[in-house]
Amino acid sequence: MMSNTATALATSLQQIDKSDWPTYKFEDIAFNISERVEPQATNLDIYVGLEHLDSGDIHIRRKGTPADVKGTKLKVYKGDIIFGKRRAYQRKAAIADFDGICSAHAMVIRANSETIDPQFLPFFLHSDAFMNRAVEISEGSLSPTIKWKILKEQEFKLPPLHLQEIFSEVFRSTDEVIEKKKNLLVKYLQLKSSYIKNAVFDVDHYKMVHLSDVAKFMNGFAFKPTDWGDSGYPIIRIQNLTDPSKPFNRTNRVVPEKYNISKGDILASWSAVLDVFEWDSEPALLNQHIFKVNHDEKIILKPFFKYVLKASIEQMLKYAHGTTMKHVVKKDFLDHKIPLPTLEEQNEIIEILENIDQSVHAIRRNIDSSDKLISAFIKQIVI
C-alpha cells in the first residue's frame, strides 16, 4: 500500500511545473574521486568489486578484502558511491558505508552538495534518465566502458535543492521500509531452511530412501542450433526457468514423446544453475541439462517431494563438479538419500512449509511494490 505521504507526492509531482528546473553538466552534479591505492600497501580492510554490487540496489551487501586482489584500485570514503563504469547496462551503483578500496572498473562518485542533495544522488544514479545515458556513451563492444571525460559533459535537469530534500526523505523512508522487509525475508528463509533440516532431514524415525526409490530422472533432448526456428514448440532451456521473460527457441523437430513437458511437471536443472522448478506455461520440449522428474505419487506427495528435492540439490552443491559451471551427475541424484515420512506426516510438514512460503511471497510482493514506487517517482523527477 502507498503511504499517505507517497500518495500526496505522486499527485503533486503531476502538477509541478518542471520547465524551469535547472540543467547541469554531470561534473557540476558530482565529483569523480580518483585516488589510487595499491591493495598490498594499504591498512584498509574492505574491498568491493563489481561482483559485489547487485543490479538496481543502492546497498552493498557483500564485500571482499584487499588480499583478494592485485593491481591498482580506487580509494573509497564512507558516503561515496561506487558506480560500475564497465557494462553500465547492469545498473550497478551503491553507497559505501565504509572506508575502503574498490575496483578500477568502477568510478567513485561524490555528490556536489551545492547542486544535489547527497541523499538524492544514489537514487538519481539509478534513474532511467541517467542509466540510459550511461549506456549510450559507453565505448567498446565486448566490455563497454564509460570515460569520465565523456560522462562529465552530459547534461541533466534537476529539481531545486529544497525539492530534492523532500524527495530524498520520501525515498529514504521507503528504502528503510524495504530494508526491514528484506531482513524479515531473510529470517523467514532461515526459518524454512532450519525447519527442513531439523524437522525433516534430521528426524531419526523417518525412513531414509534414495531419490531413485521415489522418482525417475530423465535428461532433456540435445537440441542443436540447427533445430531452432521461429515456429513450433518452445524449447525449455535453463534461462527460461530462471527468467520467464527470456524468449524461447522454438523447433518443428519431431522428438520422442518422453521429452514433452506439460503444465505442472517437475523439472530439475543440474548444470550451471542447480534448482527445482514446476513448469507453469504452455506445452513445450525439454532441453538437455534439465531433468524431467516423475515422482511416485503413491508414496510421496508432490509438494513434499519438491521441498526435499530442492533441499537435496542444495546439499549436492557441496560436492558438485566444476568451478565456473557447477553440475551434478545423474548418479549423485539417484543415490542421494531423503527422508520418507508417512503420507499423513508429509501433509503436516507441507502445511507448515506452505504457511512459511505464503509469508515469504507476501514480503516479496511488498518489496517489489515499494521498489516500483520509488522507480516511478524517480522517473517523474529525473528527466
Q: Are residues 156 and 88 in the same domain?
A: yes
Cβ partners under 8 Å of residue 126, min gap 6: 56, 58, 91, 93, 378
The answer to the question of residue 281 being in a domain is yes
The answer to the question of residue 383 being in a domain is no
Which CA distances in Å does 199 have to 124, 210, 290, 308, 315?
A: 47, 19, 29, 12, 16
The answer to the question of residue 177 being in a domain is no
Q: Are residues 32 and 132 in the same domain?
A: yes
Could you report the per-residue pLDDT of 310-357, keeping only the tens digit for each? 999 988 887 766 655 567 888 888 999 999 999 999 999 999 999 999
What's the domain count of the chain? 2
Q: Are residues 37 and 130 in the same domain?
A: yes
Could you report the per-residue pLDDT of 134-168, keeping only the tens digit for each? 999 999 988 999 999 999 999 999 999 999 999 99
Domain limits for position 270? 207-340
Question: How much is the average pLDDT of 173-186?
Answer: 95
Q: Are residues 136 and 212 in the same domain?
A: no
Record the cell numbers describing residue 160, joined without a space: 531545486
The answer to the question of residue 185 being in a domain is no
Give the pLDDT score at 130.
Answer: 96
* pLDDT-based confidence at residue 15 (cuts at 50, 70, 90): low
Give the pLDDT score at 318.
Answer: 77
pTM for the full predicted model = 0.82
The answer to the question of residue 101 being in a domain is yes
The answer to the question of residue 197 being in a domain is no
Q: Are residues 216 and 153 in the same domain?
A: no
The answer to the question of residue 6 being in a domain is no
Q: Are residues 26 and 110 in the same domain?
A: yes
What is the average pLDDT value for the chain, to the nearest integer?
92
Record the cell numbers describing residue 373, joined without a space: 514506487
Domain containing 321 — which CATH number?
Answer: 3.90.220.20
